[in-house]
Structure 1
Amino acid sequence: MAAAARRLIARARSRRSFWSSSWAADPSTPSASSPPPDTNKKKPPPASAPHRLAAVMDAVNERKLPPELRGRGNAVRSETDIANVVEQRIWHSMEEGHFENLPGKGKPLNLNSNPHADPAEDTLYRILSKNGCAPEWVELNKEIRGMIASWRSALRKALANRSEDDYSSWNDDCRVLQEQIRQINDKVFRYNLIVPFGRQMFGLNWDKEVDKLQSK
């Protein structure tokens, strides 16, 4: 009886040790000493709309660059870099003879037409030129320059005749000259509205004109 009891106790101990070793060897079973895995780990936030738009714009600008300047990361693509690439391409084309046997080589340039101007305006200017007429802005430019020259001559004369004891004549001259400068600036404003882009002119400033003559 005692022997049978001892055998049962030994068998129970062997089973308990087996399950204990199996439990310890199971990697999927969380242990008391190791912390549970963090399932609430924050994911990186998605890129915002401005960042995505900036990335698209960078990709578009990258495609516009010459092949020599693409894929350079954050390298500075200055106008000098682009000019160097253009110059290299021109030299390569010259060495390969692409500039030989061009149409019009050795002939005078045709300056009767401007390929960069509006066809309607170009035709109108040629008609006016053949009939001895000039566009309105050309005539207005001549008129404004003549008025400015006369006005500056009158201002120079008024400053020379100004007396330190009597400012009454100088004040009268100032009123007349300031009215004339207003008329000139009105014409300059109209001129800038009708003149082709890049030919605009500045109006006159009373204080600057007086200071310029007094500093001489």
Structure 2
Amino acid sequence: MKDEQLPLTFCNPSAFAFDSETVIALLADMHIRKAIERGDFDNLPGSGKPLDLSDADDPDWWVKSFMKREGLVFLPPSIQLRKDDAALDDQLDQLSNEKAVRHEIAQFNERVMHARHQLPSGPPLITMPRDTEATVTAWADRKAARSKEARTQARGEAKSEKRSRQGFFRGLGRRRPRHRTGM
């Protein structure tokens, strides 16, 4: 079959109808493939680096640039609540009294319950409301541990400061013997 010629009726070029856009796209593709084979696109400046595409054709360019400039990130409620749950203990540790802690836990639980009553948008919501009493107890335990550690550290610093002052003043009271060299 290699040496045989195919009849013209098998591959008649006029049997296909192409519009002008398709012909232009096929010609462009053919020229690009030949250029790649020749190596015309090898070692171009900026090769392997991300493209900085303009937002000129994007209708939401202003909102996207504002969010990027201000560092805003809008996540689906399920993801945002996961992040908030992970950061809640650190946030509670910044508060000084139990009333403020209870208020913060109530706000978090309200957001979780509100998200549970909404139609899901994004990944499933797996965050559960916090048990207020258990969270307050854990907060109080962490607070007590921090204050105990701070007292222990303050005592240690006071002792070391006292020792250094005593050592300084002890050295002042001593007289050094004078050595005379005999000549």
TM-score (norm 1): 0.24
In our comparison, the structure showing a higher alpha carbon Rg is: 1
Larger RCO (CA under 8 A, 6+ residues apart)? 2
TM-score (norm 2): 0.27
